[in-house]
Amino acid sequence: MSYTRTQLRAALENRLNAVSTVWSSGDLNGFIDDAIEGLYPSFYKRNVSTTTAGVGPSQTMPATTRNLYMVGLQRVGSNRVRPLRNWVEGQGTAIIPKANISGATLVWAWTSGWTAPATDIVAMDIVPEAREVLLLRAEIAAFEELLSGKLQAGGYGAVQLRQMITEDEVVNALQAKHASLQDRLDRVIPLPEVIR
C-alpha cells in the first residue's frame, strides 16, 4: 500500500494523543523519517534489472545496486536465466568469473530499503506490516526522547498535567511497545538467500 508522511504523522499523532506543546510536527517527522530508514533489512524491496555483459570479468552493475543476492545469465536467443556462481559484489561493479559471456544479458537481483521522503506528500509503497513496525518505532522514539529529558521541562510536564500520566506508566507503555515490536520483527520474512 502507499502511504505519505502526512498520513503516517496523523496516525502517529493519534497513537500518541500528541499535543503541540509536547512534540512539534518537525519532531514527529524526524521520528517517522528515522523509522522509515530503519525498516531495512527487516522489510525490503526486491529489485531486478539487466545489463549487457562486457568482456569481463569485471561487469558494471545497474545504478544504485547494493546487497546483491543473485546474478543470472541469459544467453542470446534463450529465454532461460541461469544463476551464476562465485560472483563478488564491489562498488558499482561485480566480478563475474565466467568466460565467453560478452553480449549476453546479466540479470541482477538485489534488495533495498526506503529513504525518508523529500516532502510530506510523496507516497511510499510499504506493506501494512512494515507500516505498523514504522509507527511502533516512531512511538518508541517519541516516548524515549520524552523520558530522556530532552523534552522533559516543557513536554513531559504538559503530558502529565493534561493526561495525568506518570513516568512509570510511560515506562510500562514503552516496555509493551518494545515487546510488540520484537514480536512483529520475529515474524518477518528474512532477506533472500544469496546465490553464489
- Residue spans of the domains in the chain: they are 2-42+115-186, 45-112
d(Cα 54, Cα 75) in Å, to the nearest integer? 13
Least confident segment among 40-44, 157-161, 177-181, 189-193: 157-161
Average pLDDT across the chain, whole number:
89
Mean pLDDT of 109-128: 95
Least confident segment among 51-55, 112-116, 158-162, 167-171: 158-162
Our CA angle for 70, 71, 73, nearest 5°, is 140
2-56 tens-digit pLDDT: 999 999 999 999 988 766 567 889 999 999 999 999 999 999 999 999 999 999 8
The DSSP secondary-structure symbol of 27 reads H
pLDDT at residue 163, rounded to an integer = 54
The x, y and z cell numbers of residue 132, run together, are 505498523
Those residues whose C-beta lies under 8 Å from the C-beta of residue 49, and which sit 6 or more positions away, are: 62, 65, 107, 108
Is the distance from CB of 162 to CB of 78 less than 8 angstroms? Answer: no
The x, y and z cell numbers of residue 14, run together, are 493519534
* Nearest C-alpha neighbor of 51 from the set 134, 112, 97, 107: 107
CA atoms within 13 A on the CB side of 133: 23
pLDDT at residue 160, rounded to an integer = 46
Residue 156 in this model has a pLDDT that exceeds 60 = no
* Nearest C-alpha neighbor of 22 from the set 169, 165, 152: 152
Mean pLDDT of 55-68: 93
